[in-house]
Structure 1
């Protein structure tokens, strides 16, 4: 198989290209992971849109400093190993570049996984540096790899958001509006909050007219409102926004309509990346960013490692079991398919009910 990687212009993420990196020999204790398959979702567009601000481009440096390699979630196999505890053939789940391979420097190796100790990753958020050995993962199933690649990172963010909202007593809101309600992370939050809603907030999905039927059919939103209907929203109830769209115009419309009713605006993603420049002079509370890795560490500190795995694992299994009821998984093959799907996602030409994966 020819070595390849997709690289993106850091100043203009609409510009992406395929490159052929030079194959490197392994040094002592290094492992070569040959990437088998990975997911491409709107979450990856968020990685690109916030690549410099959130340091996503630093995980997998490109040959040219003006470009970056897109982070993705997927599976790889150990093809070559100079580490005594990691044999060839082990299947690994984790954070990879959209590419054919990744060389890692494993430390803290156990039956369940390892940490990549590459020097350039040392100061980056720790959860992204953790790799799972599938043979030691009780939650792994070969027949559920698509669900894990496409949904698990997104569901974790949604589950953490639900914990955050509950801990903050819903920010005193009676209504919680989720922009980009058809996105997989928003669905993860809506399902998690529906299952554990101690403050009885109403969950309102905001979406485009074309996605209204899909979002309404999910059964996890108390009401669904389209973006053109924002101007007609009733007022008078304390309201919070969880913003997955990152669209400045939508934010302004919500802030101006809800005004004094607003108690919080939590910025999560940038599905509408091309309009994601923060709006200025908004009435009401200033939007603040939710960074999932920080909340992972907080949840582990509060629940303990075993308590965290138990609570999150149970919620994830329930969510994964329901996925094929509302999501159609579609797999494409090869480097050119990766580039084509990325361009579709950038153009907003993706169907909410599709879970897209690339077989390398």
Structure 2
């Protein structure tokens, strides 16, 4: 299969398969990007799970009426009809899990460009921006692809969870799917604070891994949730999106639970909201809204400086926490996606894929 895209049913993330991709001729102002390498994590399963609700499927529409999975990675312009974005230039950003794609650069500067294709105009601008990708050591590029896209969510969650004006100010934080990389990144942020108690909730098989990170004040297995003090004020940060787990937590913590912030759908097969869930009602966390809010509150330069410093600290720490894996070819992409769907990936693994190759 020369050119391909991962095609996914709009309402069933498990129904996924590579399909041939016929290259479209370029028109004036367009470029063809050939994917060089991209990451696959549980974060991508969240994109597929909430593809309709959060419009993730709208970024890269498929000709077959199915979804194209958004990923973060690096691509090279292999063909250009745009005078300011030449063939051979290299870019980092939000891409489809495919071998190539056509985009329409606009607002081009030394700092990057925006895909101004008509269908992307109503979508969050943060996903439409492409940044220069000067060659870096492979490990540096892998960390950027795997961890930086989810780190912005973690950084923003840290600001919300620890915000002293929120109704849950002073409450302990309970993170579901504590072994997921976004949860770990948020735990790294919260660990820098002295005024937040953070408890990681995870499966029994991952308890040792999560404890070994040294980021959580306490780790509790899902089968021991009743060990949590029901009367202690708490806020849930829900990376799992598991209906049964949410019901258990809400029922056990009645009276002490202040809020449930839903972030992801790592447990995608059980992600349908439970009926008659004891209060409070979960609220969905949408990172782009908080980027805009903090940019307004702090100013763009301050936001970028704080975020940049926090990211560098986490990236340095992460080198010793994760094992970066690199695989090649469409079959490897398909197999890795299916492993993520089945939950058959070690939390220690950080995976990048090269679309071309055997």
Pick the TM interval, shorter chain: over 0.9
How far residue 270 of structure 1 moved from its aligned partner, in angstroms, is 0.4
Task: Look up the SS of the partner of 2:25 in the other structure.
Answer: coil
Quote the residue 1:97 is aligned against.
96
Q: Is the contact between residue 173 and residue 263 of structure 1 (CA under 8 Å) also seen in structure 2? A: no
Preserved CA contact (<8 Å) 1:177 1:203 = yes
153, 156, 180: which one pairs with 2:152? 156
1:168 to partner: Cα distance:
4.8
What is the aligned partner in structure 2 of residue 165 from structure 1?
161
Counterparts of 1:147 and 1:349, CA distance in 2: 21
Q: Does structure 2 conserve the Cα–Cα contact (< 8 Å) formed by 1:209 and 1:227? A: yes
1:268 & 1:23 partners in 2: Cα distance?
35
Tell me which residue corresponds to 2:313.
Answer: 318
Unpaired segments ≥5 residues, structure 2:
none
1:47-68: CA deviation from partner (whole Å, max 9, x where unpaired): 1111111111110011111x11
Matches of residues 108-123 of structure 1 in structure 2 within 5 Å? 108-123=107-122
CA RMSD of aligned residues (A): 1.5
Calculate the TM-score normalised by the size of structure 2.
0.96
Residue by residue over 1:303-352, the C-alpha shift from the partner in whole angstroms, topping out at 9 and shown as x without a partner, is: 22221211111111111111121100011101111111111111111110
Please report how far the alpha carbon of residue 179 of structure 1 lies from its aligned counterpart in structure 2 after TM superposition.
0.3
Does 1:12 pair with 2:12? yes
3-state secondary structure, aligned to 2:191 = helix
Aligned residue number for residue 273 of structure 2: 278
Shift of 1:280: 2.3
Distance 1:142-1:303 versus aligned 2 partners, 3 A rule: farther
Q: Which one has the bigger helix percentage?
A: 1
Distance 1:308 1:91 in 2: 26
Residue 172 of structure 1 contacts residue 263 of structure 1 at CA under 8 Å; is this kept in 2? no
- Counterpart residue number, 2:35: 35
Tell me the TM-score normalised to structure 1 length.
0.95
Structure 1's consecutive aligned runs of 4 or more residues displaced over 2 angstroms after TM superposition are 140-143, 166-170
Matches of 1:300 and 1:132, distance apart in 2: 19
Other structure's SS at 2:327 match: strand
Distance 2:300 2:229 in 1: 43
Take 2:208 and 2:269, find their aligned partners in 1: how far apart are those partners? 25
Give how far 1:359 is off.
Answer: 0.8
